[in-house]
Amino acid sequence: MAKTRIIMTEKVVPVFPKGVRLKFDKKRKQWVVLAPERMFVLDEIGISVMHCVDGKSNVDEIVDSLSKQFKAPREEILDDVVEMLQDMADKGVLDE
Amino acid sequence: MTVSIEPPLAMLAEITHRCPLRCPYCSNPLELSKRSHELSTKVWLNILDEASELGILQVHFSGGEPTVRDDLTVLIKHAEKKGLYSNLITSGVLIDKSKLDSFIDSGLQHIQLSIQGADSEVGDYIGGFPGGHQKKLEVAQLIHDVDLPLTLNAVVHRHNIGQIKKIINLAEKLHAQRLEVANVQYYGWGFFNRKNLLPTREQLMEATEEVNKARDRLKGKLVIDYVVPDYYARRPKACMGGWGRRFLNINPAGYVLPCHAAETIPGLRFERVTDKSLSEIWYHGSAFEAFRGTDWMPAPCSTCDRKEIDWGGCRCQAAAITGRPDATDPACELSPDHGSMNSIAQNESKPSQEQFQYRRM
């Protein structure tokens, strides 16, 4: 059977699975996520979130760190960050 | 309006046309390149340098069967060194554990493994290679064992589209992350065998329903890419994301093509990577300029609000059906030729098992 769907709750530690790379595209001067036969160009928020994916921090800690970085209240960004991580997980770009 | 030329994102490296399988819808041209015409390792290494310089991010090693070349490991290693994301598009039948390990050690990121059916009976019949299906199952297991992401690619047509549910189950069982259900594209060998491959409308509707059901059930576990065949479509696809916009293909003899089937279009002149730089061919090659952007478009494309969404659809298909490569893709219901495409689908699709012709050198 294939793996089960990952739900990005507070204690989940997101990681990039094999075959997924965060890369700075020098030619176009932008960050991209390279994945099997697809690629995603990230906006500024997306880049910040993806840079927090270090294989150690859980979702809670990622939200904390972004909250500090953008000087925004935790509760204001929580939903957006979780939604983005979930979306990336559903696309197979993040694992746990 | 002229659209500015962006650097390409991806390259399909068709390093050979040789292949042990004989699929009757092979995407290679009817006239296959001989081994003696294949580019040397040195030339391919040079191409990878140029590709990286040009802004290409992903390289898809393909064929033919790319693993027939014993320098594939060297090429993957060089792609990795140049920061290119490398993908292997393979039938799998020549891969064993040590070969797979050498690809992965060289930096391979992903494998797209083809299947020709859900079981040996159908798979081996379509591929024309006895024992092939079983071999693929073993390779999929090897890939899973080393934790490399796997896309399973199933080309579907009249003879196997009824197996769609089983194909999806197989993708799950083989731990694929993605399943591409690709309807045959009717150019080259597919066009040649069209009357023995086109599915019926009923077959297609059933398959579409199965895919939609499975997508809901498998959300977050298995991504299913599924594209309706053009012969039953109402709007064309943005073929290659637009001609000369994102993608280039290099064939075994070194000709640089805007898409793998571009040689089926009469009147285009292609250039070789051994004669000119990749950059010069991409930005100034006449074949790339021919249908790039929107200036070349006839009515109804020229005034259509979707012209920068579907880029006029597929040039190879327009050429194959209408004889005019610059016609609106007849898959579009606004095309004056859409009716003739509908009648082809109606007249040629049968639920029969008529014999097709296998690919041959």
Residue A42 belongs to some domain of the structure: yes
Give the pLDDT of residue A1.
35
- Find the range with the poorest average confidence among A14-28, B160-174, B220-234, B322-336: B220-234
Residue A10 belongs to some domain of the structure: no
Three-state DSSP state, B345: helix
Q: Per-residue pLDDT for B106 more than 90?
A: yes
Nearest to B149 among A1, A19, A27 (CB): A19
Highest mean pLDDT among A13-27, B74-88, B337-351: B74-88
Give the pLDDT of residue B42.
98
Is B111 within 8 Å of A37 (Cβ atoms)?
Answer: no
CA distance B320 to chain A (A): 28
Mean pLDDT of B313-325: 94
Interface contact flag, B9 A4, Cβ < 8 Å: no
Q: Across chain B, what does the average pLDDT equal?
A: 95
Sheet hosting strand B150-156, strand order edge to edge: B223-227, B178-183, B150-156, B110-115, B85-90, B58-62, B10-14, B247-250, B255-257, B271-272
Give the pLDDT of residue B2.
53
Can you give the pTM of this predicted structure?
A: 0.93
**Measured between CB atoms, does A33 come within 8 Å of chain B?**
no
Q: Per-residue pLDDT for B109 more than 90?
A: yes
Residue A67 belongs to some domain of the structure: yes
Residue A46 belongs to some domain of the structure: yes
For the stretch B250-298, pLDDT in tens is: 999 999 999 999 999 999 999 999 999 999 999 999 999 999 999 999 9
With CA atoms as reference, the chain A residue closest to B171 would be: A2
CA distance A71 to chain B (A): 32
**Measured between CB atoms, does B3 come within 8 Å of chain A?**
no
For the stretch B9-28, pLDDT in tens is: 999 999 999 999 999 999 99
**Measured between CB atoms, does A12 come within 8 Å of chain B?**
no
**For residue A25, what is the domain's CATH number?**
1.10.10.1150
Residue A41 belongs to some domain of the structure: yes
Mutation pick from A18, A37, A86 vs chain B, by most beta carbons of B within 10 Å, is A37
For the stretch B32-52, pLDDT in tens is: 999 999 999 999 999 999 999
Interface contact flag, A92 B177, Cβ < 8 Å: yes
- Show the domain range for A61: 21-90
**Integer Cα distance of B194 and B212 in angstroms:** 26
Q: Per-residue pLDDT for B352 more than 80?
A: no
Counting as low any pLDDT under 50, the low residues of chain A are 1-2
With CA atoms as reference, the chain A residue closest to B6 would be: A28
Cβ-Cβ contacts under 8 Å between A and B: the total is: 72
Give the pLDDT of residue A2.
46
Question: Which residues in chain A have their CB less than 8 angstroms from residue B182's CB?
Answer: none
For the stretch B202-256, pLDDT in tens is: 999 999 999 999 999 998 889 899 988 889 999 999 988 999 999 999 999 999 9
Interface contact flag, B220 A27, Cβ < 8 Å: no
Question: Which residues in chain A have their CB less than 8 angstroms from residue B179's CB?
Answer: none
Nearest to B148 among A1, A18, A23 (CB): A18
Q: Per-residue pLDDT for B3 more than 90?
A: no
Q: How many domains does chain A have?
A: 1
Is B66 within 8 Å of B76 (Cβ atoms)?
Answer: no
For the stretch B52-68, pLDDT in tens is: 999 999 999 999 999 99
Nearest to A34 among B55, B85, B220 (CB): B85
Give the pLDDT of residue B50.
98
Interface contact flag, A37 B176, Cβ < 8 Å: no
For the stretch B144-154, pLDDT in tens is: 999 999 999 99
Sheet hosting strand A38-41, strand order edge to edge: A21-25, A30-35, A38-41
Residue A83 belongs to some domain of the structure: yes
Residue A7 belongs to some domain of the structure: no
If you write DSSP's letter for every residue of B98-110 in order, what string do you get?
A: HHHHHHHHHT--E
Q: Which of B169, B247, B162 is nearest to B200 (CA)?
A: B162
Residue A14 belongs to some domain of the structure: no
**Measured between CB atoms, does B178 come within 8 Å of chain A?**
yes
The dihedral through the CA atoms of B219, B113, B11, B296 has a sign that is negative
Neighbours of A4 (CB within 10 A): 8
Which tokens hold the place of B45?
A: 């290494």
Give the pLDDT of residue B1.
46
Mean pLDDT of B122-151: 97
